[in-house]
Structure formats: C-alpha cells, structure tokens
Chains A and B, each alone.
Chain A
Amino acid sequence: MNLWLWNLAEAVLMVGLAPLATALVKLFKARLQNRRGPSLLQSYRDLAKLFAKQPVLAEHASWIFRLAPYVIFAATALAAAIVPVILVAMPLTAAADVIALVALLALARFFTALAAMDVGTAFGGMGASREMTFAALSEPAMLMSIFVLSIAAHSTNLSAMIDTVLNSGLGLRPSLAFALAALVMVAIAETGRIPVDNPATHLELTMVHEAMILEYSGRYLALIEWANQIKLLLFATLLLNLFLPWGIAQDSSLVSVLIAAGAWLLKLLLLFALLSLFETWMAKMRIFRVPEYLGLAFLLAILGILSHYILEVGV
C-alpha cells in the first residue's frame, strides 16, 4: 500500500512539475538569447487561463475531436506514472513495461492525428501526415535503443533495466553510449524540439505538432498543452534514469527518497540547460532531412546492439 502511495505521489509530481519544466527551458533559452524571458510560473498561468475560457468548436467537429484531449492527457499521464522517477521499484512499473510505454505514447499520438483530420482543413491533414510519418520512422530507433538496455537487463521492465545499470559499475560501455545517443535523438524528435520541429513557431509550413492542434481552444487546448509538457518531462526523466540513474532511491526510506529527489532535480536542471543550449545553437532542419536524422538515430541504435554482441557478450 505504501508503494502505491509513493507511486501516486510520483505521478502527481510529474504531472504537476511538467509546466515548470517547460517554463525552465523557455527561461534558459531566453537568457541565452539575451532576453529576460517569462517567469517560471507563466506556464501555470497560461494553463489556468485556458481552462477558464470557453472552447470554440468547428461546426462539423465530431465527438472524436472533443474526446481526444482527454484520451491524450490520460495516456500521457499514465505513461508518466509508469516511469520510475525517485524510487526504482514501483508497482505501476510492473503494470506496463517499456513497450507498453511506447504504445501509450503512440495512442496519444493516434488520437491527436485523428483530431487533426477531424475538421477537414489542410493544416490538420498536413500535421497528421507529417507527425505519423516521423513517428513511424522514430519508433524502430527508440525500440532498438531500449532493446540494447533490455538485452543487457534480460527484461523489458523499466525497474529491472535501471537496476542493471546501477549494479554494473562505472565501466564505460560503448553499447550504452550508442543507445544513449540514439535515444537522445529520438527524444528530440518525439517531443518536437529543434531541430525537428519548432515548439514556438506559428508559421504554417514549418509546423508539425502545432498544425495538429490548430483548431483547439479553451480547456481542450489546455489539456493537450499540458500533455505535451508532461511528455517532455517524461522523456527527460526516462533518459536520465535509464542511463545515468545514480542517486535513485532503491528503498523507500525517507533519506534515500530525499536524496533521490534532489539528484533528479539537479540532473533535470543540467539536462534542460543542455537542451536550451542545443536549441539555441542549432537551426530547424528541412522537413525532408528529418528522415535522415531518424535514420542516423536508428543506425546508432543498431551500432549499439552490434557492439553489445561483438564487444561485450563475445563468445
């Protein structure tokens, strides 16, 4: 029972801190660009404003358009509840392993694309088409890079994978390095950051995610934006806890939990700083460079698996 409470607390933490994480990234980027940037609470204020407004629907939008934001939010929040954040062994992690995690995010994406197609505008079709294409190309890369870890851990359970990395010592393993590089590239594609998609753009021809949610307003838009922010925090936590898990609590005593929480926040801070640096430094790629980018991520993941078999397992 105790563990379930911790799991619930972790889930609430992830969902609650997600807007703050996005605001942090925006602030770092602004400072790097010599601007002052929005306050850290601005994302919360935006969400509150959107929830208070009355949504406006297109004339012929169907029930799918209205249902989709709830499904998207539920699937993403459940995915966030599955990832071990502060404690390694979580009951919900046994409910869904990494493949189910990917599938939950795919479910959210499926409904976003359906909602985009619902209104019958060109932007919706464009966003849905591009998003599903890039998702199709990034899934093999994501699964392969996670397979590197699961082959080493003999399990697809996230807790088991984290345990394996914790117990394997500080040796440098090239297969993990390749897998980390591949997963970082895929994470950038999945969360729609530069260089794949610009989260701040409103130019129609460069939008991918924004094009899909163009018709949304009010609480629907709030739910979708929030789900997007949770996704960013989810991928950041996944990357950190899978590949650099030191500090995570392996028992539920208060001391280890506090240390773990502090380590997590610190690592997140560093990761977001790196992300903002990267986003400021790079420019957005042309749309048809994205398949090459994802192909490179896939290649790195394959190199990870190959180097695992050739160099680490051996004969």
Chain B
Amino acid sequence: MSGMSWALAALSAALTAFLAGILLSATPKHQRRLVCALLLLSALAALAAGLAGLLSAPGEVRLPIGLPWLAMHFRLDALGGFFLLVLGLLLGATALYSVGYLRQLGSQRNLTPLYIFLPLFVIGMQGVMLADDAYTFMVFWELMSVASYFLVTFEHEQDGHRKAGFLYLLMAHLGGMLILGGFAILYAAGGSFEFDAMRAAALTPLWASLAFLLAMSGFGMKAGMMPLHAWLPDAHPAAPSNVSALMSGIMIKVAIFGFLRMIWDLIGLQQAHWWWGGLVLVIGSTSAVGGILFALQQNELKRVLAYSSVENIGIIAIGLGLGMIFAHYNYPSLAALGLVAALYHSLNHAMFKGLLFMGAGAVMHGAHSCDMGQLGGLIRRMPRTAALFLIGCISISALPPFNGFVSEWLTFQAALMAPQLQGTLLSALIPFSAAMLALAGALAAACFVKVFGIVFQGTPRSPAAAEAREANAWMQIGMAIPAALCLLLGIFPAWMLPLIDAVPKALIHAELGASATGNAWLWLTPIAQERASYSPLIVLMALLLAGCTFLVIHYRYGKKRRTEPWSCGHPHLNPRMQYTAAAFSQPLRRIFSDLYQPQDKLLRSDHGHTLLVKRLRYQVHVQDLLWRHLYLPVKRFSEWLTQRIDWLHHRPIHGYLAFTFVTLLLLLGLLL
C-alpha cells in the first residue's frame, strides 16, 4: 500500500472510532474496547503512513468533498510524514493506556462524550498534517480545536475547568483567525487556495513579513510559546490524563508542523528576512527559561508538566530559529542541523511528556490527587509506575543515555556553529541563546528532581497516598512503550537521523547526509568526526556495568540492616517534617523574586504571648507574571472598548434607521 493509502486508512479508522463512540453508548465496556482498538489501528496506520512519507516520494489524493469549486486536497510528504510518525507512536501507546485508564474513569461517569470527541480530535490532527490546501487545513484545524475544547471541559462540573475551557477556546480561535489571516495573504499572492500555488507565489517583503508575523502568532499561540501560553497551564490539567498526553505530546507539535508548513514551506525561507530567525530564537529562549521557571513554582503535578511543555516548545523554537538564521546566511547544511535538532526534540518530547502525563493519570487514579502536598512515598505502593515515571524524568532533564540529551546536544551543536556567521550581531547573540538553553536544561533537572522526589519518594503526606493502588496492566503497557522508546531513541539516534533527514531535504534541499552517521551506527557526528561526536553506547555500557555490579552485590549480600533514618539524630520523624513542593523551590523563588513577585502570608496563632506559638501557617502564591501584566490589561482594555461601543446598542428607532441608511450609501459608493 502506498503511504497515502495508509494515511487514508488512519483517517477511516479514527472515523470508525467516532461512529463506534456514538453508536455503542449503551454498552460502555464494548464501547471502550472498540474505540481504543480502532484508535490503536489508526495509530499503526499513521505510523506506517509516516514512514512511507519519510522514505518515499510524496503522494497525493483529491477527495470530492468540500467546497464546490475546491476539492479537498491531501498530500503526504516528508514533513507531514514525520509528524504522522510522532502521532502514530504516541497515539498507539495512549490507546493502550486508555483501555485501563478509561475503565476506572468510566466507573465514575458517562464517557460517551469522550468517545465521541477523542476520535474527532485525532481526525483533526491527522487531517491537518495531510492537508494540501488552505481550506482543508483550516477545516481540520478548527475540528481539532473544537474537539479538544470539549475534551478539556469534559469534567465541566468544576468551575476551574470551565474557565480553563473558555480561555482555551478563546485563544484557539484567536490563533485560528491569525493563521487564516496568514493564509489570506498567501491566497492573495498565489491566487488559489492550493498549497502548490502558494508555494510558487512571490511576496513583497512587507507582505511576507506580515504573513510571517501572523503565522508566528497564530501557530505560536497554539504551540504555547511565551507570551501566548496562558491557556496551556489551565487547559492541560483540566482534561483527562490520556487526553492531556495527546494534547501536550501531539497537538502542540501540530502547531510546530503548521509553523514549518507555512513559513518554511509555503512562504519559503528564501523570502525570509534576517530578523525572522532572530525573533524565533528570542521567543524560544524566553519560553524555555520562563516556562521552566514557572514550572518550578507549581504545586500541582499536571500544571508542572504543562509549564514544562512551554519550556520544551521553547527549545524546539530555538532549534527552528537557528535553522532559519543559518538558512538566511546561506549555510544550508547548518540549517538542516537546526531543523533536525528541533524535529528530534519534537519526537522526544512527545515520548517523554506523553509518558509523564500518563504517569500523572496513574497517580491521579491511584492516590486520588495530583496535589503534591497530598502525595509522597508512592514508590513503594506503585513501583512500576514510579520506575517508568523516573525514566520520563531522566529523559526530560536531558541526561544521558536517554533521548532528551541527544536532542539538546544537537541543538547545542547547532548553536555552536554561530561563529560561521562571521562577526555579525547574530553570531554574538547566539551564545546567549545557548546559555539560556543550558539554564533551562539545568532548571528542568531541578524541577523533575522536585517532582519525582516529592510525589514518589519520602513518606506519604496523606492517607490517600498511604493507600495508593498501582496502575492496572493496560496503563502500565501504555507507559512502557514510550519509556522503551525514550531509551532506544537515546541509544540509537543514528538510526533515526537518516529518517528525519528527509524533512530538511524536502524543505530546504539540504541534509545532514552521510557525515551524521558515517562512522557506523555507534557514533553521532552531525557535522564531522573532528568537530563533535557522541557515542551513547559507551555511556550505556558504563551505566549497565554499574547496574550489574549493584545487582550482583545486592543479591550476594542479601538482607540489609534497616533502622530509623539518621537525620542528625532527630527522633520521631513524621511526614510533615519533609520538604514540601513550595519548600523545594524556595531558593529559586527568592533568587528570581523580581520575576515571580510571590505573594506570601504568614498566619500565626499563639497562647497569649508571641513566644508561645500555637500554630503557624505559611501561604505563598506565584502568579504567572504575563497573566498580570499582559492578559489582564488586554482584558481590561477590551472591556473598556466594549463599554464605549455599548451606546450603539441603545439607540432609538431613528438611530437604527440611520445606520441602515448610511450602510446602504457606503455600499452603493463602494460597489458602483
């Protein structure tokens, strides 16, 4: 079967899942099994389609649905193929996870809306990746946004979820309009909705920049780049965990796909100005550092993961920005390096973030809370979940031998190529970006030590945590797949790179080529052997040696001597004496207090004298800085504006007649 047929099969499987969701609402068990099985099929078909798209020539198909004079064009090329690959991998794992997760969720509520909108969401994402004209693209984009809105507000009884859904819908539509604006410019230049016409169109510099800014804002808003990220930390925790995994793992990558499609492919980098890449780089660096700084201050597990997604999108944007800068200064192979680093990080992020969100869902089900102040010691009650979650934490902290390190290493290598730009301002600015990337990576490690340490280690902070139940087998399988992929992608990057190389070849006609993996599959040498090289296998061997030594000694020495913790001789430790989430991030809160502007309160009650304290209560709250300084003023301004315009709604009849008359005059004047 050709790639395009696989892609259509994926769409059909998802459509069948949607129908199954509607029709089988009377039998929840069959409904769940069938919908998840169909989604798994869709994922496998998407995986096959993705591989075909990367390995073979582009395929096209035209469906006679849609507008009368514009059929729906579908095309599977390398770029779409890569993102379909990402989708297929994560969706497959999530489908398996959902069988177990939704069984438990289904015992509490009716899941039919979920079974209806989840397949629609998947169809939307797949359709966007396959679209070959603007109409198809926008239809599937809106389908994706609206379906995910319903998924976000799935548990709509909670006030916070409704607010999160509203903000999400508002920003999704705003972003959609901006993207539409970008397409409008391209349509005007190319004369047709079809992407082929848009590719061939030549734009004046002003319109090209305008289209770039519209696309950047629209796709950036959906991807969650700062400062347009405010919907992410509210929406991702509100949705059920399997949906959050898909949203964070794939949906924001679809936005990256859209960015690449519009700016790298349709507008084309040869029409790019020098400052486009610089802007993307600056936004990427800001998102990376800002995202992780705010992630560190969150106390709810899923909010941490959501802000961490903002950080990783920033890292992807850094790679893209570097690629754009190098492409502008005519270094195509370096641009390919930047693009490959960004794409590899997209894949890696889908894997480990999906794993982490699935783990959060397992924690939610097992301990009935995602509030880090109520958790603790889960490693003993949920050992397998803990081990898999640990793999996710190590990967996201960019530590060898897992995959996060490889993509960050590639991004660093791309940044270090800056001196090739020969003393321009950008070449002096790029090392700053590299420093911000290093800061973001190190802060991510701090954040995930905090997350794993507080949630899984120590002693339980609440009775629910003390009696937590391990996740069921389906959930474990669903988590094990991304975990295994994290390890494989970290150890064998040389296998993935030739696949990913097809994308820069299609977009900018340059590739990393043979040098990347020329020294056999053991070594990763993106530019040249003498330049930089990394052999993940040697690191893995050293660590395996350590692990084996541990196991040998463990089994040889058998029983250990156990006693109370030493803790400098303090007796009677209780769980309240442990570090809390807010306590762990206190040094950073103090160092970056100008950025956080934390509001804290200390309440004390005593037995009549200040020294005889009865109770102390400390509350600290860190609000997203951009929320207070950007979003609230915008909200206030739009409220002010609507109040000013309100007088239009209260005119007497003569007023309305006058409006109609003036409009008629204007139309006559314009049209005649």
Contact = CB atoms under 8 A, between A and B. Distances in A.
A117 B454 contact: yes
Interface in A201-230: 204, 214-215, 219
Contact of B539 (A59, A96, A120, A121): A96
Interface stretch (B97-105, B107-115, B165-173, B435-443): B435-443
B379 A64 contact: yes
Contacts of A219: 553
Interface stretch (A12-20, A106-114, A272-280): A106-114
A74 B423 contact: no
A103 B405 contact: yes
B457 A121 contact: no
B127 interface: no
A122 to B, nearest CB: 5
Contact of A143 (B434, B539, B550): B434
A66 B423 contact: no
B628 to A, nearest CB: 24
Interface stretch (A39-47, A150-158, A239-247): A150-158
**Top 5 A-B pairs, shortest CB-CB distance:** A125-B579, A117-B453, A120-B458, A74-B546, A132-B446
> Chain A, interface size: which category?
35 or more
B547 interface: yes
B442 A120 contact: no
Nearest to A78: B542
Contacts, number: 250
Interface in A259-315: 287-288, 291, 298, 301-302, 305-306, 309, 313-315
Interface in B548-599: 549-550, 553-554, 560-568, 570, 573, 575, 577-579, 583-588, 590-591
A41 to B, nearest CB: 26
A55 B435 contact: no
Interface string B384-420: 0000001000100111100001000100110010110
Interface stretch (B320-328, B527-535, B662-670): B527-535
A57 interface: yes
B533 A157 contact: yes
A95 B538 contact: yes
Contacts of A118: 453, 457-458
A174 interface: no
6 contacts: A59-B563, A100-B534, A107-B400, A118-B458, A143-B434, A151-B418
A288 B590 contact: yes
A9 interface: no
B452 interface: yes
A103 B399 contact: yes
B428 interface: yes
A70 B547 contact: yes
Contact of A215 (B377, B457, B566): B566
A75 interface: yes
A120 B532 contact: no
B645 to A, nearest CB: 48
A133 interface: yes
Interface string A122-144: 11111011101101111110111
Interface of B: 376-377, 379-380, 390, 394, 397-400, 405, 409, 412-413, 416, 418-419, 423, 427-428, 431-432, 434-436, 438-439, 441-443, 445-446, 449-450, 452-454, 457-459, 523, 529-535, 538-539, 542-543, 545-547, 549-550, 553-554, 560-568, 570, 573, 575, 577-579, 583-588, 590-591
B400 A66 contact: no
A313 B547 contact: no
A218 to B, nearest CB: 9
Contacts of B397: 106, 110
B494 to A, nearest CB: 13
Given A126-B579, A313-B419, A139 B442 contact: yes
B405 A120 contact: no
A61 to B, nearest CB: 8
A303 to B, nearest CB: 12
Contact of B530 (A120, A155, A215): A155
A282 to B, nearest CB: 22
A165 B535 CA distance: 25
A73 B550 CA distance: 11
B545 A74 contact: yes
A135 B577 CA distance: 25
Contact of B577 (A57, A122, A139, A151): A122
A117 B457 contact: yes
Nearest to A56: B561
Contact of A114 (B377, B452, B530, B554): B452
B435 A298 contact: yes
Contacts of B413: 156
Contacts of A106: 397, 399, 442, 445
Contacts of A35: none
Contacts of B423: 309, 313-315
A238 B413 CA distance: 21
A106 B394 CA distance: 11
B394 A110 contact: yes
Given A59-B562, A103-B398, A120-B459, A135 B445 contact: yes
B567 A122 contact: yes
B390, B534, B563 — most chain A CB neighbours (10 Å): B534
Given A71-B543, A129-B579, A140-B435, A96 B535 contact: yes
Contact of B377 (A56, A60, A126): A60
A62 interface: yes
A235 interface: no
B563 A56 contact: yes
A120 B412 CA distance: 36
A67 interface: yes
A8 interface: no
A76 B359 CA distance: 30
Nearest to B579: A125
A59 to B, nearest CB: 5
A104 interface: yes
A248 to B, nearest CB: 18
Contacts of B563: 56-59
B524 to A, nearest CB: 10
A67 B457 contact: no
Nearest to B446: A132
Contact of A154 (B419, B453, B534): B419
Contacts of A97: 532-534
A143 B435 contact: yes
Contacts of B431: 144, 147, 151, 302, 305
Contacts of B459: 60, 120
A59 B457 CA distance: 13
B583 A95 contact: no
Nearest to A98: B532
Given A58-B566, A120-B458, A120-B565, A71 B453 contact: no
B543 A139 contact: no
A2 B431 CA distance: 38
B579 A96 contact: no
B534 A95 contact: yes
A121 B573 contact: yes
Contacts of B547: 67, 70-71
A70 B583 contact: no
A160 interface: yes
Contacts of B568: 123, 204, 214
Given A70-B547, A133-B588, A151-B416, A144 B564 contact: no
Contact of B532 (A58, A61, A129, A156): A156
Contacts of B542: 74-75, 77-78
A66 B566 contact: no
Nearest to B533: A94
Contacts of A309: 423, 427-428
